[in-house]
Structure 1
Amino acid sequence: SAASLDDASSAVKEWQKSMQNAAIKHQEFRDDRFVAALDVNGYDTTHLLYLARAVTPGTYRVPPPQVESMYRPAWNAVGAAPERLVVRER
């Protein structure tokens, strides 16, 4: 079955709503990552949300989110990631 946010928590649904209002200029949904280009102003917080797809049950490591300025690569950060993602068989 397809991935869905129907059963997501209210916090996740708020992030989804705020992402729709974000200044996203470009998005790419790749097999191994989500890529986005967006405008940022000062120290504003922007939440980006993606669905991870796993076709085989098991325990997976999720890489941390990374951000980098296109024009000043020295401006970068690495976020926190969950310790693991568990996909159970249906």
Structure 2
Amino acid sequence: MNCDIVKVETPSSIELVGKVSSSEPAEGSYHFVIEKQGPSGRSDITQSGDFLIGAGDGEEEVGRVTLDMDPSAFYVAHLVIEWNGGEIDCRYDSRN
């Protein structure tokens, strides 16, 4: 089981996409938290739910957040994946 947070940039925004992948069928839950901090303040976005990866699917998107492109702001995203075999988490920090 693996997780990833993919950054997709457009001219006016940034998307952070949470993904979970497995080489075999799997099901569980996810918790996707994005924190944005900049001159106008701080905001938190939380998404959660269940996922199911069927045989041959390999990967599923488990969250997507679109944020405005503010050069003076930074974003931190944390994705936690839980299933009957354990728990993994991955992070994205725009300052790195």
Q: TM-score range by the shorter chain?
A: 0.3 to 0.5
Higher relative contact order, chain-length normalized (CA < 8 Å, sep 6+): 2
Which one has the bigger strand percentage?
2
> TM (normalized to structure 2)?
0.36
Which protein has the larger Cα radius of gyration, Structure 1 or Structure 2?
1
TM-score normalized by structure 1?
A: 0.38
